[in-house]
Structure 1
Amino acid sequence: MARIASVGLSLGLLLFGASAQASGQLAAQAAPIRFGILPIGSAAESLEQWRPLLEELQKRLGRRVTTVSVSSYAGLSGAIGAQRVDVAFLSGKLAVEAVIHQHMQVFAQFVRSDGARGNVAMLVVRGDSPIRSLAGLLANPGRWRYARSEQLSVTGYTAPEADVFAPHGLNSDTFFANVQVGDHQSNLLAVVNREADVASSNNPDMDLFRHNFPGEAAQLRVIWQSPLIPSGVLVVREGLATELRRQLTAFILTYGNAPGEAGARERGQLARIPDLGGFAPQNNRVLQPFVDMQYVLLRQEAEHGQWVSPQARLARLAEIDHDHQRDLQKLLPQ
């Protein structure tokens, strides 16, 4: 069994509120809008990236906006489950959990600066690594060290597991000599520093890494990338007041589209968030690929697993099929 070291999973709650002078007259009695941010890079770095946009949202709504910024996927999921978040930026698997179990609804999707509505997962090695290809990686079980993200990460865990390891009857946690769990930026640095042989990542985090560490990024090489995975989404709590939700949605979906200098300024604020060009209207249906991806992964693991009897295996497969249909019904009600 590989040794799994958890890296950087402590929860950090960072709150901000613009001053009354900067924000205008806010309704003192109104509860703040609590905005949850999935970290790209560090929690503090993500907070700075989002701050200008959220300060403008605060002015538009005339209501204080506080930010729940966390250092882990589990931390953000926990905050949503505890009803400490009203609106959040989430990746697909977190969004599925939020919609199916935590009373949230999708209302917008990220649009990349190149117009695409998706990202790709990657496996990355050093340029001078003896791992020359994906086949070379898989040919040597128990030899390599792996740096991956939490299991709630689609690009950092689920996509590589479903598309690379499970189809070969492998589990990354037992295939590698050592597995360390951290954020995407830390995992890429681990490969550069020869603390890991391969890391999972995605194109936005690779772009951010190139921006922050251009010399180190030049030492990396991609050996695998996934098909396009739908981009992250914005979700809103079901119980949010109708008028407040309408104002929030209108602000998000039109931000960056204003004419003249105002639009240029808004697009500049969007550009602070890695690879973000704007937002498009969306609903819960955009999450079906993530439900299906998890279903495929669980079935592959069950089919390749060791069971005490054929009946036990069949029972597990039936359970997976049932859970998949249940989740689709919750996600896509008739």
Structure 2
Amino acid sequence: MTSPLPEPQPNVVLKKMQAPVHAVSPVLAARHPAERLRMMARRLSALAWRCILAALLGLPLAAPMHSVAAADEAPLRFGILPLGGAFESRNDWDPILADLSRAVGRPVSVLSVNSYEALEQAIQRDQVDMAFLSGKMALDAVTQRRMNVVAQVTRHDGLPGYRALLLTRKTGPRTTLKGLLAEPERWRLARGESRSVSGFIVPQLQLFLPNHIVMETRFASEVVGTHQATALAVANGEADVATNNTADFERFRLQFPAEAERLQVIWESELIPHAQIVVRRDYSPAFQKKVQAFLVDYARGKGQRGDAERAVLKSLHDLAGFVPADNTSLLPAAKLAYQLARQSAMTSQWVNEAARQARLQRIESGYADQLAALRGSAP
């Protein structure tokens, strides 16, 4: 089986939606012009070194004489899931992030990446203050990386979630679910990364493992990529079956109508809860409430402004808006992760039964800790 494609490096775009303004102090203005120039040069030099040090260490920049102002002006770093591509995702989010910048009174910078792994690493390095995440990544951000859920997306269909899909070509030798389950080793798979809920976790849990098929090892070959990439791989004959989801496949139909016409859905999962917006706990409860209020009110107004905001959300996978949410909205994601871990432990090969039972006990303990953290009872 071929190895997954190498992970691309993250594309980081620091696009400030609101530039800070720096005024010259009255004391400096009263000095001789030459002295003012020397003092300004020294201050600029010191500021430059602070900027370099902050960038190298991944720390927020703080000026010693104006710490409150500097904190207010520090960019809010927003991380985006790579649903289509890094550039496409960033462009889709730019309008709403510009509005967010004005609402909270500080600049917003964008971290747009090409893989789930790159975004997860950025969160682990504390390079993300706020993010659009789903499933396992949102769960890890809350239980391991000091973040809180403030909102959850909604869609126009009114459903509380979306579904994972399996796609094949309409014509050819491999087009049926029965054939896939009977001889997976003859099929070429295009799937999402292991952190992707609809691209890996749910198909593995709800379809493949119950049929004694491990996605990573049973197929003739595999391609790992975004939902757009997996659908294109099947449409272009580079793979036989692809994981996807209802929201992304709708978007794919609009962007690639000719390729979408070659594809069919052979399997659908149960409903998967929608993605969440998370914010780092280092920000005050008042600031988190401010962000939540902006998101919940977005696209709910009337007139031209409301129409423009609704158009922005429509470009974001046809979203209808945001609803208030907290960490308990991740309980379904925790259950999914628990079920997958348990199912994998039950079907895997072990040295002896004691080793299997030890693994199952760790899974149960970890799940209990997650539930406590999400419900707010963890220390």
Conserved? CA contact 1:169–1:301, under 8 Å:
no
- Closer/same/farther in 2, CA of residues 227 and 173 from structure 1, 3 Å limit: same
Aligned-residue offset at 1:7: 5.1
Deviation at 1:270, TM superposition (A): 1.4
8 Å Cα contact 2:18/2:108 also seen in 1: no
- Identify if the C-alpha distance between structure 1 residues 242 and 319 changes in structure 2 by more than 3 Å, giving closer, same or farther: closer
2:203 paired residue number: 160
Instruction: Give 2:144's aligned amino acid.
Output: H
**Which is richer in helix?**
2
Quote the residue 1:147 is aligned against.
190
**Match for 1:100 among 133, 139, 143?**
143
Q: Tell me the CA shift for residue 215 of structure 1.
A: 0.6
SS in 2 for 1:39: coil
Q: Which residue of structure 1 lines up, in the alignment, with residue 101 of structure 2? A: 58
Give CA-to-partner distance per residue, 1:159-195, whole Å, 9 cap, x none.
0000111112221111101111111111111101111
* Alpha-carbon distance in structure 1 between the residues aligned to 2:298 and 2:356: 51
1:19 Cα deviation from its structure 2 partner: 6.3
Matched-pair contact (CA < 8 Å) for 2:168–2:234: yes
Quick one: distance in 2 between partners of 1:321 and 1:243?
35
Task: Tell me whether 1:18 sits opposite 2:17 in the alignment.
Answer: yes
Contact 2:81 2:132 in 1 (8 A): yes
Q: Letter of the aligned partner of 2:365 in structure 1?
A: H
SS at structure 1 position matched to 2:4? strand
Query: Structure 2 regions of 5+ residues with no counterpart?
Result: 23-67
Identity across matched positions, percent = 42
Measured against aligned partners, the alpha-carbon deviations of 1:181-231 in whole angstroms (never above 9, x if no partner) come to: 111111111101111100100112111211111011010011101011000
Identify the match of residue 262 of structure 2 among 212, 219, 222. 219
The answer on 1:308 being equivalent to 2:345 is no
Distance (whole Å) between structure 2 residues aligned to residue 117 and residue 15 of structure 1? 33
Which residue, 125, 132, 144 being the options, matches 1:89?
132
Q: 1:56 to 1:24 in 2, by over 3 A?
A: farther
Deviation of 1:324 (Å): 1.5
> TM-score of the superposition, structure 2-length normalised?
0.83
Give the letter aligned to residue 137 of structure 1.
Answer: L
TM-score by length of 1: 0.94
Contact 2:17 2:109 in 1 (8 A): no
1:150 is paired with a residue whose SS is coil
| Amino acid paired to 1:3 | T
> Based on CA coordinates, which of the two structures has the bigger radius of gyration?
2
Q: 1:187 aligns with which of 230, 234, 252?
A: 230
Say which SS state the counterpart of residue 315 (structure 2) adopts.
coil
8 Å CA contact 1:8, 1:183 repeated in 2: no
Alignment pair present for 1:330 and 2:329:
no
Residue-by-residue CA offset, 1:23-65 (whole Å, 9 max, x unaligned): 999x973211111111221110011111111111112222111
State the shift of 1:17 in Å.
2.0
Contact 2:150 2:288 in 1 (8 A): no
Match of 2:361 in 1: 318
**Greater relative CO, 1 or 2 (CA 8 Å, sep 6+):** 1
Task: State the partner residue of 1:231.
Answer: 274
Runs of 4+ in 1 over 4 A off after TM superposition: none
Query: Match of 2:61?
Result: none
Give the number of equivalent residue pairs. Answer: 330
2:324 counterpart residue number: 281
Deviation by residue 1:227-256 (Cα, 9 ceiling, x = unmatched): 110000000100113332222111111001
Counterpart of 2:10 in structure 1: which amino acid? L
Among 286, 291, 294, the alignment partner of 2:337 is 294
